[in-house]
Chain A
């Protein structure tokens, strides 16, 4: 009753204290957009720029995405017999060598000088360029890890957050499912599924390879949410009558984002290793387009570990896997800082003065889970 009265505009129109605080100055729409852009785009970029890990990670990930998107247009498709067999990388060296030659390319009808690189990373035992294979395998690798990452994140976060926040029977039910999935023997299950389905589509493959990954994430998220739901500011939000989706979206999720990111990246890394492992063991069908795991398998089985002649064939996909994996980890660690409101606010030019930053720090529970990983 009294609440209704207090909300009644007419009765206490001039009372700005208590719950009815209103900004002293109003922002124009443009200002608001600028502020949002600053907070969500510019500030994160500044955070990334100021953090070496984030910078390197982002660079690597962006490079791989570029290679995956643009690379296949620029680099010739790998084909059997397109070059000599087992040509070494950088044949003849850079000066006076034969691995490059002056050529010409036609741009908008005009012929311009161009340097034609001849199999700069060498070729394999059937005469396909190694660089060409790595580049043309990248889109499928990225699609696969993206699908795995999304699958694990969406399912794990949803189940974990709902289970942790709603509680009761829902929690029990979901926890049981999670427990069951967690206790399934991972590798045998994977081998059986792969043998039965023989997946060739990278999206399907990504999902199959991460079928178990979501459960661990859901479990961890649930425990995070359980701690968060009893924090004072969430209770306050509940007391204020905010809807559950609003509380989850505004109060809970931002605080578990670093954790989600780290888990997503872990899922992506795992799927890279799992796919490479399965291709390496020859359990997945080779596709039209080669895969890094297939490259490793072929290189290994043709003596890539025994002779220098074939070493480049083994090393190049290995380096690609390491770089992409490392890029993802560094990127996730950097994201931890980006999602930290305190750090972001410090890098935001429109987020207000130091007091506000202090407030932000004060208001933010110290979730160091992500950063601690």
Chain B
């Protein structure tokens, strides 16, 4: 079907990337041309050509393009971790898997640029996605930290384990359809045709972190019984990794990993060691950066006043999160399962003010609540096309909200909305404690709702995740509405059909909706599972049309009220390190301090 990400979708992505960089105000004409020039070059790339890619963009902000001449140093890159190092367990199916540390210890199958949805090689050198099969090529030169070579067998083993464990890939590929063709080739049979992005994003979270000698028995158990009891309880204290850094030790306050010289990108890395200091809270991380006791932080929301207090040597890398706060309703609740109430709440919340309150630099309001991310660069408009004007933008309007509530049988008594039984429209708005931007934004939301007559109170809760995913003890809560991926299928699936939609939101499996652009037309029934399955396989205009139809359902039925989208902030220091500026597209890969060393774009300055 296509090779990697070339063709029409590739062109569209390049356009999107330029738009994002323009929106971030970080690039000039030359930068954009340079970036566009390297798009699409990854599929055929070899280790050498990956290095060339770095060279291409070096002129646009990379300070360390001449990595070949950079001598080896004894430096340690220090970064925080919010996991207790001593408790880390390197079993990806267990509870204590340190995801950030894993970026250094294990190699991902592939990487993705979040601003552009451009996929780049990891363990996989290239991929060929056909209508009913996918061929994956394993890059030569990878070695497990134990010394064994990484082969196609290892990749197939991992993919099979993931499929048995119920990862996103299991929707597309059956475990028995994973086969090893030769030492560097894996072939996957597809259950149905899928868009390239859908397939590649399902590979994105997968790292080569399950050595066969440790996990073999569990795959056997899966093959025999379909279950692998004990997999989640498996503890691994000393991981056998595949990444550019090898585990040394984990103590109470620190975890240390040393450069692994046999990694194919080790030549690009000129520092000896990575160290993670246990800094649990945002405050501690801010303070660490202020006092230069860390060299970089992957993702911490930082209020402007704190950011301004950092020295000039601290560089901010903004990354589109394709993610942001929305209002999540419990559809089993007698009030908040009602379409009119949800729509009224969407009308009441002033999203512009909310984004400003949450931190205008890092948040943008959702322009048209349709379930499509891309508000930073307006890319969602490409998907909606001419139908954009048919969507309800939910401009703040208390009149419209009041009308909807009255239609639903509510009335206002003493300034508060009550239902026919006299029960007040009220809820504690739950958000995770310690999320500063959401706490600030939550205050704006609660004020809007209170002014309108809905008795909401802000409830930053320590037990948030347990309440949402464990006890499901919530009425209305704040939660990210998109899926962190720009390609629309993912957030539509999350809102209408995914695990969260079904088990947390308790959103119905099918709804009645009038045709797009004809609110009074004859309603049709939309069955989410089948329609989203269909969307996953569509490309081009057909994908666009189906996306519009499902976005229209989100716009009318609002499984969640989409409110804003955010930029993630990563931080790198430049006093001891050569690194990229925001202009370099490679900076926008999860996360700069882990991906950039592989590209030779984060190097220690000679001592």
Contacts and interface: CB of A to CB of B under 8 A. Distances in A.
A127 B439 CA distance: 14
B283 A305 contact: yes
B43 interface: no
Contacts of A80: 353, 357, 443-444, 447
Interface in B60-112: none
A303 B305 contact: yes
Given A80-B444, A307-B306, A301 B439 contact: yes
Contacts of A324: none
A98 interface: no
Interface string A145-181: 0000000000000000000000000000000000000
B168 interface: no
B9 interface: no
Given A285-B458, A288-B457, A301 B428 contact: no
A286 interface: yes
A194 to B, nearest CB: 11
Interface stretch (B176-184, B245-253, B459-467, B500-508): B459-467
A331 to B, nearest CB: 33
B446 interface: yes
Nearest to B287: A306
Nearest to B447: A80
Contacts of B306: 302-303, 306-307
A282 B434 contact: yes
Nearest to B455: A288
A180 B353 CA distance: 52
A301 B434 contact: yes
B447 A285 contact: no
B100 to A, nearest CB: 22
Contact of B444 (A81, A282, A288, A309): A81
Contacts of A307: 305-306, 308-309
What is the interface of chain A mostly: helix, strand, loop, or mixed? loop
B288 to A, nearest CB: 11
B439 A298 contact: yes
B282 interface: yes
B436 A310 contact: no
B260 to A, nearest CB: 37
Interface in B279-304: 282-283, 286-287, 290, 303-304
A301 B357 contact: no
Interface in A306-323: 306-307, 309-310
A125 B446 CA distance: 16
B450 interface: yes
Interface in A174-216: 195, 198, 200
A249 interface: no
B303 A302 contact: yes
B302 to A, nearest CB: 8
A287 interface: yes
Contacts of B443: 80, 126, 286
Interface residues of B, number: 32
Contacts of A86: 304-305
B459 A301 contact: no
B36 interface: no
Contacts of A306: 283, 286-287, 290, 306, 309
B356 A81 contact: yes
Nearest to B354: A80
Which interface residue of A79, A126, A198 has the most chain B CB atoms within 10 A? Answer: A126
Contacts of B357: 80-81, 126-127
A341 B201 CA distance: 83
Given A80-B357, A298-B439, A303-B305, A282 B287 contact: no
Given A282-B434, A306-B283, A81 B462 contact: no
Interface in B423-439: 428, 433-434, 436, 439
B526 interface: no
A282 B458 contact: no
Contacts of B388: none
Contact of B283 (A79, A288, A298, A300): A300
B24 interface: no
Nearest to B360: A85
Nearest to A125: B440
A198 to B, nearest CB: 7
A301 B436 contact: yes
Contacts of A302: 303, 305-306, 436, 440
B8 to A, nearest CB: 43
Nearest to A301: B436
Contacts of A298: 439
Contact of B460 (A195, A286, A300, A305): A286
A353 B447 CA distance: 64
A287 B457 contact: yes
B290 A286 contact: no
A286 B459 contact: yes
A283 B460 CA distance: 8
Interface string B351-385: 00100110000000000000000000000000000
Given A80-B447, A126-B444, A282-B461, A303 B303 contact: yes
Contacts of B450: 288
A288 B446 contact: yes
B314 to A, nearest CB: 14
Interface in B39-56: none
Contact of B428 (A79, A125, A285): A285
A301 B287 CA distance: 12
A198 B303 contact: no
Given A288-B450, A301-B282, A282 B433 contact: yes
Interface string B247-286: 0000000000000000000000000000000000011001
Nearest to A311: B305
B465 to A, nearest CB: 14
Contacts of B460: 282, 286
B445 to A, nearest CB: 9
Interface in A255-303: 281-283, 285-288, 298, 300-303
A279 to B, nearest CB: 10
Nearest to B445: A80
Contacts of A281: 462
A126 B437 CA distance: 10
A303 B300 CA distance: 13
A285 B459 contact: yes
Nearest to A309: B305
Nearest to B433: A282
B457 A200 contact: yes
A310 B305 contact: yes
A68 to B, nearest CB: 21
Interface in B399-458: 428, 433-434, 436, 439-440, 443-444, 446-447, 450, 457-458
Given A307-B309, A309-B305, 18 more contacts: A81-B353, A81-B356, A126-B443, A195-B463, A282-B433, A282-B461, A286-B457, A286-B458, A300-B283, A302-B305, A302-B436, A303-B305, A303-B306, A305-B283, A306-B287, A306-B290, A309-B309, A310-B303
Interface of A: 79-81, 86, 125-127, 195, 198, 200, 281-283, 285-288, 298, 300-303, 305-307, 309-310
30 contacts: A80-B443, A80-B444, A81-B357, A125-B303, A126-B357, A126-B440, A126-B443, A126-B444, A195-B463, A198-B459, A281-B462, A283-B462, A285-B459, A286-B443, A286-B457, A286-B459, A287-B457, A288-B446, A298-B439, A301-B283, A301-B436, A302-B303, A303-B303, A303-B305, A306-B286, A306-B306, A306-B309, A307-B305, A309-B308, A310-B305
Q: Which 7 A-B pairs have the closest CB atoms?
A: A309-B305, A282-B433, A286-B458, A303-B306, A80-B444, A285-B459, A307-B309
Interface of B: 282-283, 286-287, 290, 303-306, 308-309, 353, 356-357, 428, 433-434, 436, 439-440, 443-444, 446-447, 450, 457-463
